[in-house]
Amino acid sequence: MNLIELIKQPWPWYVAGPLIGLMVPTLLIVGNKSLGISSSLRHVCAACVPAKIPFFSYDWKKEIWNLFFVFGIFIGGIITVLYLKNDAPVLVHPDLATELASYSITDYSGLVPVELFNWGSLFTARGFILMVIGGFLVGFGTRYAGGCTSGHAIMGLSTLQLPSLIATISFMVGGFIMANLILPFILSL
Amino acid sequence: MQNTIKDTNTDFEVRSLDAICVNEEEVKVPTWYNLQYMVFGILFGIILIKSEVVSWFRIQEMFRLQSFHMFGVIGSAVVVGAISVFLIKKFKIKTIRGEQIIFADKTFNKGQIYGGLMFGFGWAMTGACPGPLYAQLGYGATAIIVTIFMSIVGTWVYGKFRDKLPS
């Protein structure tokens, strides 16, 4: 198997995790930047619709590196789908597959289930709830918490910040409640 | 700790709430220099997708404790990140332009719990935190632009009402 074929395979956690972790010192050493992605959403607000709100009244251009970084993530997605795509569907736990099949979710070819996240499903109850309300909660929640998985869980825990541990635990508790107790109702709509 | 600054700001990614950006380097750098962050972003995006951490299915597995994968990725990322930060502090490693590396201490605030729970809900619904949303869009899930737009709306609404929220 040549290198490019190897890269195309799904990467195990012990390869991907350390690479993600190395992003912390890389950004620090290259430009004193703290890894954090959700703040890009704030910079977009500050750049486009600050509306004299104090929270958005700052010089976003000084944080423009963050917008370059997230634009890079977007380009990374394009490069992966064009050149590094693995055509095999994602392999999930059989219990999950059984559960999702009961909501007629059976297509594992994409990063997100095409039955839920497409333009057509935006006009179905479950698609609307997941994309519109889910997206709102991601934006509101990360800013209220002061960071997301990258800013709190990875950067914050790496610098041994107790508030980041509290935030990370809250992320997980929220996720467990949603996935196990609420999502089944949404998916069966 | 000498190289630690304290402030009462609750938003740690933009370390300054008002006009002064602490995240900015003191040495002036040309704008094209930001392209390097795009390169790191590209690498980050590829890593996120190839490790499947941006997969809605993997997120569902994680929240049902059906797979170790996500915990392994986040856990080993934190371990490597923490060792790196420890080494930077211990050997007072500077940036490539010779500046001291700054770490901001975070202060507790109820938003970390309330906001954290809300983000947790959103994470399990969309199968993505903010970084993966950009990756999913790039990977061709065009409808995700709606999710990204709504997360910007959510951020804006938070900014509008942040004075009225418990903190």
pLDDT 10s per residue in chain B (167 long)? 444 444 445 565 554 443 334 455 666 778 888 999 999 999 999 999 999 999 999 999 999 999 999 999 999 999 999 999 999 999 999 999 889 998 888 899 999 999 999 999 999 999 998 999 999 999 999 999 999 999 999 999 999 999 999 98
Q: Which residues of B touch A160 (CB under 8 A)?
A: 82
* Amino acid (1-letter code) at residue A175: G
Residue A155 lies in a domain: yes
Contacts of B158 (CB under 8 A, 6+ apart): A55, A139, A140, A143, A144, B115, B165
Q: Inter-chain contact A170–B117, Cβ cutoff 8 Å?
A: yes
Q: Are residues A15 and A64 in the same domain?
A: yes
Q: Are residues A14 and A60 in the same domain?
A: yes
Q: Are residues A7 and A48 in the same domain?
A: yes
The tens digit of pLDDT for each residue in A14-32 reads 999 999 999 999 999 999 9
Domain regions of chain B by residue span: 4-164
Q: Are residues A81 and A122 in the same domain?
A: no
**Domain final residue pick, A32, A66, A85:** A85
Q: What six digits make up the tokens of A115?
A: 């039955």
Q: What six digits make up the tokens of B81?
A: 């990140």
Residue A105 lies in a domain: no
Q: What domain count does chain A have?
A: 2
Task: Please name the residues between 101 and 130 in chain B that touch chain A, using a CB distance below 8 Å.
Answer: 101-109, 111-130
Question: Which domain does A133 fall in, by range?
Answer: 116-189
Residue A110 lies in a domain: no
Q: Are residues A8 and A78 in the same domain?
A: yes
What was the pLDDT predicted at B26?
A: 60
In the predicted structure, residue A99 carries a pLDDT above the cut 50? yes
**Cα–Cα distance for residue pair A189/A187, rounded to 1 Å:** 6
Residue A97 lies in a domain: no
**Cα–Cα distance for residue pair A101/A107, rounded to 1 Å:** 9
**Domain final residue pick, A85, A103, A126:** A85
**Domain final residue pick, A46, A67, A85:** A85
Q: Inter-chain contact B101–A29, Cβ cutoff 8 Å?
A: yes
